[in-house]
């Protein structure tokens, strides 16, 4: 019997959700942080979407959020011209890093000792978190606001995407530009996968995959609508994308064929990310919600419960929920 | 005909009364360095335990007095994003966090 995808809606934010990030897998499971224009980033249990806490302190829209690998620290980038580092177990603000303009992106190194920030002042900054009095290292070069900046190649290099329609690769030690990719339009998102050194870039209706070390194009896929974000499955068999038509699209990575599309959000999808175990993907939307979607629809995982044909019957109806009102819309 | 995948329940939403990060969660207890557990006095050293409990209650009382002192605090020369306010009244519900130098 064919099963229909039931997305799990995580409510709580009151404005558009613009960025999402998962942690690695920890002894307590994995976690999800959401950046929202309401200024209150939230931490959730990754496999259920259960709210754990809200990081309070920013005085403006939060544009970027990230967790370190073991989910002990969080970092956020905001319109109040600060990037903040948080203890993500207690929810306390640990550090506030002043910038000269809106901060859009934050990223920890693997050892959590350095934080890369970038934003509307067109500079990349590297903060040493064990020596916070020291001024950050600054890398200039982009001609317009930077949307995203990520560590890559074992934290030896940096990838940045900006509104100057370029994606640039920088060497961390020399602080110099190594390579540049130029596009006809601004890149809407960038995701880096360390395993396999793959860079996922979206622009227009295109989802493009590049080798993160050489910036050589691997393959390209086209979606039916303008795409704001895409994410590659950890095993590289699928990728998902979401954008302006409110839908989530699932593609086969080897053939670039569109496999499925899902309705659910009531506004454009701003970000989509696979969980570290690949069992689900999370999407954040202009409608202020996060939704969790199953990779293998019908599988028992998290809050989703696989039901065998013989179990279906009236006696099970009090134990489980069927469609939520939103699905019918 | 497709059936929607059943779910056990919906994800829990935020608690309207708190910012979360439950101090009783297994992760918090395991990882939070700020939790100070009562020392296990092997052999039941009653006196030491009593002293420690007394010290804890003194600290708790001091903390509560600190919170009360912060309540409805009248301040002058308050620096705000829209300028310096000559006189202001900070209500306890306005406070997100406070730190003080010892």
- Per CB-CB distance under 8 Å, the chain B contacts of A2 are 1-3
8 A C-beta contact, residue A52 and residue A69: no
Minimum distance, in Å, between the CA of residue A89 and any CA atom of chain B: 6
A96 in contact with B at a CB cutoff of 8 Å?
A: no
Quote the pLDDT of residue A309: 65
Would the CB atoms of A294 and B20 count as touching at under 8 Å?
A: no
In chain B, pLDDT over 70 holds for what percent of residues? 86
pTM exceeding the 0.90 threshold for the entire prediction = no
For testing contact with chain B, the best of A7, A47, A53 (most B CBs within 10 A): A53
Who contacts A18 (Cβ-Cβ below 8 Å, separation ≥6)?
Answer: A35, A36, A37, A61, A62, A63, A64, A270, A271, A284
Quote the pLDDT of residue A323: 45
Quote the pLDDT of residue B67: 82
Quote the pLDDT of residue A228: 98
The answer on pLDDT for B41 being more than 80 is no
Q: Which letter does DSSP use for residue A316 in this model?
A: G
Please list the ranges in chain A whose pLDDT falls under 70. 1, 308-329
Strands, E assignment, B16-96: 73-80, 83-90
- Per CB-CB distance under 8 Å, the chain A contacts of B24 are none
Strands, E assignment, A37-163: 42-45, 51-54, 62-67, 73-78, 82-87, 93-98, 103-108, 114-119, 124-128, 137-139, 146-152, 157-162
Quote the pLDDT of residue A327: 41
Minimum distance, in Å, between the CA of residue A10 and any CA atom of chain B: 6
In chain B, pLDDT over 90 holds for what percent of residues? 36
The closest of A188, A52, A54, A64 to A117, measured between CA atoms, is: A64
Quote the pLDDT of residue A328: 37
Minimum distance, in Å, between the CA of residue A4 and any CA atom of chain B: 4
* Token pair in block for residue A119: 């934003």
Q: What pLDDT band is residue B38 in, cutting at 50, 70 and 90? A: low
The closest of A8, A64, A34, A16 to A266, measured between CA atoms, is: A16
CA dihedral A167, A171, A172, A174 (to 10 degrees): -130
Closest Cβ–Cβ partner in A28, A72, A90 for B34: A90
For testing contact with chain B, the best of A14, A34, A45, A90 (most B CBs within 10 A): A90
- Identify the bridge partners of residue A180 per DSSP, sorted by sequence position: A168
8 A C-beta contact, residue A248 and residue A272: yes
B27 in contact with A at a CB cutoff of 8 Å?
A: yes
**Residue A159 C-beta-side C-alpha neighbours within 13 Å:** 25
What is the pLDDT averaged over residues B5-17? 95
Q: What angle do CA A283, A289, A293 make, to 5 degrees?
A: 35
Q: What is the largest CA-CA distance in chain B?
A: 73
Distance separating alpha carbons of residues A110 and A232, to the nearest angstrom: 20
């Amino acid at each position: 019997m064919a099963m229909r995808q039931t997305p799990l809606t995580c409510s709580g934010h009151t404005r558009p959700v613009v960025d999402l990030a998962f942690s690695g897998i920890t002894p307590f499971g994995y976690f999800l942080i959401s950046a929202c224009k309401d200024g209150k980033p939230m931490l959730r249990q990754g496999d259920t979407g259960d709210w754990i806490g809200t990081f309070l302190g920013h005085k403006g829209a939060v544009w970027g959020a990230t967790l370190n690998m073991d989910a002990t620290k969080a970092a956020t980038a905001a319109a109040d011209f600060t990037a903040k580092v948080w203890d993500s177990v207690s929810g306390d603000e640990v550090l506030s890093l002043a910038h000269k303009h809106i901060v859009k992106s934050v990223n920890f190194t693997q050892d959590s000792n350095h934080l890369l920030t970038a934003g509307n002042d067109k500079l990349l900054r590297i903060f040493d978190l064990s020596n916070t009095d020291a001024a950050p290292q600054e890398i200039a070069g982009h001609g317009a606001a930077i949307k995203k900046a990520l560590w890559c190649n074992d934290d030896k290099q940096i990838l940045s995407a900006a509104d100057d329609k370029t994606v640039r690769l920088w060497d961390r030690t020399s602080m110099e530009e190594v390579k540049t990719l130029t596009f006809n339009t601004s890149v809407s998102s960038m995701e880096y996968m360390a395993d396999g050194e793959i860079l996922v870039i979206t622009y227009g209706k295109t989802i493009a995959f590049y080798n993160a070390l050489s910036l050589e194009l691997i393959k390209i896929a086209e979606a039916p609508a303008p795409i704001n974000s895409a994410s590659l499955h950890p095993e590289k068999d699928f990728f998902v994308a979401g954008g302006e038509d409110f839908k989530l699209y699932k593609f086969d990575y080897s053939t670039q064929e569109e496999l499925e599309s899902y309705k659910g959000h009531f506004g454009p999808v701003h970000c989509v990310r696979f969980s570290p175990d690949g069992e689900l993907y999370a999407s954040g939307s202009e409608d202020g919600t996060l939704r969790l979607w199953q990779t293998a629809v019908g599988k028992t995982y998290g809050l989703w419960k696989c039901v065998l044909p013989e179990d279906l019957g009236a006696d099970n109806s009090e134990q489980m929920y069927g469609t939520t009102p939103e699905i019918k819309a | 005909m497709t059936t929607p995948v059943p779910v056990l329940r919906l994800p829990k939403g935020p608690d309207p009364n708190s910012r979360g990060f439950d101090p009783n969660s297994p992760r918090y207890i395991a990882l939070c360095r700020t939790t100070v557990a009562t020392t296990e006095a092997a052999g039941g050293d009653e006196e030491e335990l009593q002293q420690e409990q007394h010290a804890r209650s003194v600290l708790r009382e001091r903390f509560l007095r600190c919170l009360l002192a912060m309540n409805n605090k009248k301040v002058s020369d308050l620096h705000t994003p829209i300028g310096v306010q000559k006189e202001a009244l900070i209500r306890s519900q306005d406070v997100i966090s406070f730190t003080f130098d010892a």
